[in-house]
Structure 1
Amino acid sequence: MSTWIVKVVIIYLILLPQLLVAQNISTLAGTGVPGYNGDGINASAAQLKGPQGIVLDGSRNIFIADLENNRVRRIDNATGIISTVAGTGTSGYNGDGILAVNAQIAYPSAVALDAAGDLYFTDRGNSRIRKITMSTGIISTVAGTATGGYNGDGILATAAQLNNPNDVAFDASGNLFIADWFNNRVRKVDKLTGVIAGTGGAGYNGDGIAATTAIIDGPCGIIFDNAGNIYFAEYSGHRVRKINIVTGIISTFAGTATAGYNGDGILATTAQLSGCAYIRFDLGESMYIGEGSNQRIRRIDASTGIISTVGGTGTAGYNGDGMPATTAWLNYPFSIYFDRPQCFMYIGDYYNNRIRTIAGGFAGCLPLPLNLLSFTGKSNDSYNLLQWQAAGEMNNGSFEIERSNDYTNFDSIGTIRATLNVASTYSYSFIDQHPLERVNYYRLKQMGNDGSFVYSKIISVTRGDGGGLSVTIYPNPGYGQTRITSSRMIDEIKIVNVTGQCIYRMVPKEKNILVHLKQAGIYFIQITAGDETITKKLGVSR
């Protein structure tokens, strides 16, 4: 190996720890003002109040436990629009078996998805774990009763008392684990039997013993590594503990039990923690800790066990975005979520009432060049022309062009290799030689060299006049009552929500229809007249 290559490699290795923490921070959702100002608006304009748990589904839609608003919110990946999927805003409990958007919930603190894509959340104030069946929107209780407390194990989860459960997680077998905070227990709901089990006690009686005999202190966050070992953060014990899945033995993974901060660059087992809550792993199995009381996001290196800070300075507050995350003030960042395929960290910045993000630069992944400057399309005689500009394409592999006729279901129609032009911007174009009749929806799927990807915004290109069919929707956006007027007799109307679910269908055989939508959000109205169909986008505010 030549001398200059050796020097470059050495310099890269020296700089690598800095590269891992030098990523800029930004705000994804929330204005900083605590409150609730409605749904159906861009997440960056929406007020939040004490956001905590965060999870992403397979389509990269973001779910947030908006704790003090008593709601679970959803941010659509394609549009950036926020909506409510559970809760009315009123703290309470009014039963199960109803639509989640009509259900009262109390201080939801964590969200998780099972293998089927159904959403679970900790209904902390009701001491329950609730489930939303996403295909129907119906809410149910999977653990906990009407009474907060502890009435033993070895019983059905729906008969077992919980006490302010703060986090939930699924293991690889689909069993549900609960950080039962005020009961000082980690509980397990068996996937097949529904029987609950756990540990017990309050305090600390040492490590190297069976976890079922260990006394723990305020388990707040829970996660699994790739081997299936269980990790949980003790909020009051100022530790992260580990349960070996094979032996059942408990040990301390981080923290000394003394609340405080004694610096970085030391072994995690000698580092003081304070207010540690949620914990997550990156692709390389380095651990990240939302350390609320220290106003920091900490990282424990998987290979060395050394702890460092990747976000926050220790000062509680907000001093802006667009700066290195290690210079940004946070305000009790209890919750974190690591989007492992995208190398993207989400932070529930509690008292800043924001969801913050740190993009790329983490171990085990290469950051995508998310700087897509423009994306446009236009119709020509026999084809549609798509054009876009991108910059800083260090790790971008290709652009996959996807097309849809209904804004929801997309198919790949071509791929353009990236230029890897790091220094400047570069223009791309793609010709759709066989466009659909009437409206074509397009998006770009930016593919990274490491298999990660991210979607662009969605654009539409309309060809001709839709074969003579024209439709107007007014008002749009509206407030729930909207009139649809067609140039031809309407055979069918379908209303589809942003998840692709058809929520309304009618066969009016009229040209003028009044529809009512109770839930704020973004909808797609599909109007069919004869052999022609037009899809219109409708926004509903409350």
Structure 2
Amino acid sequence: MTMHDRRTLLTGATAVALSGAVTTVASGAHAETPARAGATYLGTVLGGAFASMYPVDVATTSAYYYVVDPGRYRVERVVRATGKIDKWTKGGKGTGDGDMGAARAVAVDKSGAVYVADTPNNRMVKYSPDLQTELAKWGTKGTAPGQFTAVYGVAVGPGLDQNGAPAEVVYTVDGSRVQVFTKTGALIKVFATGFNQPRQIEVNKVTGDVYVVNARERRIDVFSKAGNALFSFGSEGSGPGQFKGDPRGITLSRNGNIAFVTDDGNARIIAFSTTGTTRGKQLYAIGGGTSKAFIDPRGVDVTPDGLLLVADEWDYSLKEYSFTSAGATLKRRLFGVRAPKTGANSPRGVAVDAKGNLFVSDWWNQRIVRKDAATGAITTWGQRGIRGEVMSLNFQWAVAVQPGTGHVFVANRESHEIKVFNNTGSQQLFVWGSRNSQPGNFTFPQGLAFAPDGTLWVADSGNSRVQQFRVNVANKTATVLKALGSAGTGVGQFGMPTGISVDADGTVYVADTLNNRIQAYRNGSWSVVPVSGTRGFRVPWGVTAAPDGSLWVADTGNKRLVKMSTSGAFAYEVTGASAGTTAFGGPFQVTFVNASTAYMSDTWGNRVIKLSVS
């Protein structure tokens, strides 16, 4: 729907004059005209709250550190002498000029130009040294040469140009391959394929050998600059030279004799020999065990003057080490300040309990925020962690409160599990699920909702289905009752089901996000909820059955909320402007305190707002 002045809208051959609301009418369709556009902004209950940085990769020059900070959707420049950020890329989250998604890698060439792997946007972007000018940009989504499927790693170093002559070139990893480009983005060649989720790449500045982090194989594969396989090292485990979880970052000493690889599952960095009879053998490890040197080491680089720089993502810090072939010593820690408890960074799921207490899934800060209805006090719980760690979270999405008990259920997305906490978050009570497609397990669970009969419904997004459970927290049991759906566009099929809600009569509503629709499960059968009187949905993330029997859709791609009947009749839309606040960045979910009051998470607006509704 195109809104002109909120009074008159031309659609097809019909102009409809409204009082305080706009309705889109398809040619020949019936227009339902609401009496009023009944949603008013009452205030922001949680605003933005950011850690000092969320560093995932680093690149260095003699004067600066360049840091990929996906928690702010930007790259930052840190002045080495002062340890302060002085510049960052313009724009924000998006696909336009200057914008980026949650980028994952950065590299610098000899001239100081900066190369960023804009991972979700499937492109490479080259910036000036001050990050203010885009010098080049290339790549689109695809598997053809020159295209990218989630470009995760970038390195710049000695290689061979299109004619086989020595040149400084750009190496990338995406999908299962290495691609080589000129510094302006012209494809030179694809020289290695068959990797299992490669996550980073580095070039030995002395020999030109190329090191690829073959993450899911838990090893490093090494090639000549001509693309010939040379050797590999690493395996899965926690012993010397082994990796637990996915190795993420890699760099080499200036002389090329030591390779440093981040082993985030063991919270350490392993130094490997790259030469002689000890090639591929561990020299030593930094951190690991009980040392607590790192929380989650990701990107690494060696400075021109020979220091090892580490991006410790969930310590929100950069750490400098001096090193030799025998060991390393911490020299300086930069940043490392957690987000304040008074807000959230990219809030997703929201829920209220019977007392009106508000619970928010604070996605980037890896925590749950609780705001007490009686006192207004804000508390948080959770921290970044891996499967098996009590109280840990891993990019959790939805949150729901169990009626009667007040227990808080969390869809711990990246760990493929559901976690249950007591109402104040002081205890983890129960956890279940693992990554697979068997009924009762999950692949990226994203939505949660309790039904009137007390059962829990889960949007199991990665498995393109929804599941129903009967959960007994006291007995620590979760019995799967139904597993419904498959991937596709047909009725009862899904393209990433995300939001889920159940109304008073037990009908289940699912935001079928990538199919741009809402589906309903009623009396054992599925149907698509028709939409009349307004434009169609664009990537709807959330759906909520309201106390008055209506449906509310978080139409994220259109940056609006839509209120409609369960049969699909449009009531009204809510935008930032119509509600009396700034534009929505990304409405994600609505939860109701009562029939007249609701909360909405505005994910990319970094806020949770309160609305008066009718």
Q: Please give the range of the TM-score, normalised by the shorter of the 2 chains.
A: 0.3 to 0.5
Structure number with higher strand proportion? 2
Give the number of the structure whose residues are more often helix, by fraction: 1
The normalised TM-score by structure 1 is 0.42
